[in-house]
Amino acid sequence: MKRLRVAITGLTSCSGCQLALLNCEAELPQLLELVDFRFFPMACSPATLESDYDAALVEGCLSMPHEQELLLSLRKRSRYLVAVGTCAAWGGVAALKNDQDREQLRQQVYGTDSTAALETFSPLPLNAVVQVDATVTGCPPEKEELIGLLTGLLKGSLPTLISYPVCTECRMKETLCLLTERSALCLGPLTLGGCGALCPALGVPCEGCRGPVPEANLAEAMEIYLQKGYAQEAACERLRRFCPGWRA
């Protein structure tokens, strides 16, 4: 079987999504037999774009001109471009201050007397600039999702974006509902599933890190939050930490 030619890189991000793949230590030897990581600056050198790719996996959002140039080049060279992680899909934590003046933010970080010449713009998800063929969300995505992405690409197929909420997985695992039973501010009703509801299973309310469900029953969820003593804005603000453009 011909090896899959893959490019993997990160833009404005914490590199956690790439680390999640590198942490698949038991599976990596088999993957290397099937996948040719031709461009992977975090793991391989030299890191230069020198060919075309079957797929490009991109982590992080866009906030600098050179990142946009890299993304456009990868889009041109790749049959498929996949947004990996919540930042690539929604903008993520880096986009939290997009509603504030960028110059004021620069001065807050570097000082008014700083001569730092930062060529940046308000962070954007990948689909604001290029066509994205598939998305694997999560902060970071689950190991099984990344392995499934690569094995699917080997067969020429793309992953289908999950459309059900974390609550569905809680039901399947018979996990106690932290919202209704413990009155915790859990975003499970509004958040995309696919994580196996790991946090609620450990008694930790869902923080919304996988982004919003496309057709969530928002009115019903907000009614429950109000009954439990939470304002609608409290739930909305928490979900915006990972998807800043989300609006109720």
Is residue 200 reached through a cis peptide bond, with omega within 30 degrees of 0 on the bond before it?
A: no
| Structural domain contains residue 122 | yes
| Structural domain contains residue 26 | yes
| Structural domain contains residue 18 | yes
CB under 8 Å to 69, separation ≥6 — which residues?
none
| Structural domain contains residue 161 | no
Tell me what pLDDT residue 115 has.
57
Strand partners, 134: 82
Residues 174 and 62 in one domain: no
| Structural domain contains residue 159 | no
* Contact status, residue 71 vs residue 39, Cβ threshold 8 Å: no
Q: Total structural domains in the chain?
A: 2
pLDDT in tens, the chain (248 residues): 689 999 999 999 999 999 999 999 999 999 999 999 999 999 987 778 888 999 999 999 999 999 999 999 999 999 999 999 999 999 999 998 888 888 888 888 877 766 566 788 899 999 999 999 999 999 999 999 999 999 999 999 998 878 999 999 999 999 999 999 999 999 999 999 999 999 999 999 999 999 999 888 888 999 999 999 998 888 888 888 999 888 65
**Coil, helix or strand at residue 7:** strand
| Structural domain contains residue 245 | no
Measured in degrees and rounded to the nearest 5, phi and psi for residue 240 equal -70, -15
Residues 106 and 175 in one domain: no
| Structural domain contains residue 60 | yes
* Contact status, residue 54 vs residue 80, Cβ threshold 8 Å: yes
Tell me what pLDDT residue 53 has.
96
Which two three-digit tokens encode residue 175?
């996990």
Q: What is the CATH number of the domain that holds 21?
A: 3.40.50.700
Residues 36 and 136 in one domain: yes
* Domain, as residue range, for 87: 4-154
* Contact status, residue 188 vs residue 179, Cβ threshold 8 Å: yes
* Contact status, residue 241 vs residue 93, Cβ threshold 8 Å: yes
Residues 149, 88: Cα–Cα separation, whole Å: 16
Residue 206 Cα distances to 15, 163, 198, 211, 227, angstroms = 22, 16, 9, 11, 18
Alpha helices in the chain (DSSP H): 16-22, 28-34, 65-77, 86-90, 102-110, 143-154, 166-173, 178-182, 198-201, 218-227, 232-240
Residues 98 and 219 in one domain: no
Strands, sheet with 78-84, edge to edge from the N-terminal-most edge strand: 35-39, 4-10, 53-59, 78-84, 134-136
| Structural domain contains residue 126 | yes
Tell me what pLDDT residue 117 has.
62
DSSP symbol at 93: G
Residues 89 and 195 in one domain: no
Residues 187 and 103 in one domain: no
Residues 126 and 217 in one domain: no
Residues 32 and 99 in one domain: yes
* Contact status, residue 208 vs residue 243, Cβ threshold 8 Å: yes
Half-sphere exposure of 114 (CA within 13 A, CB side): 13
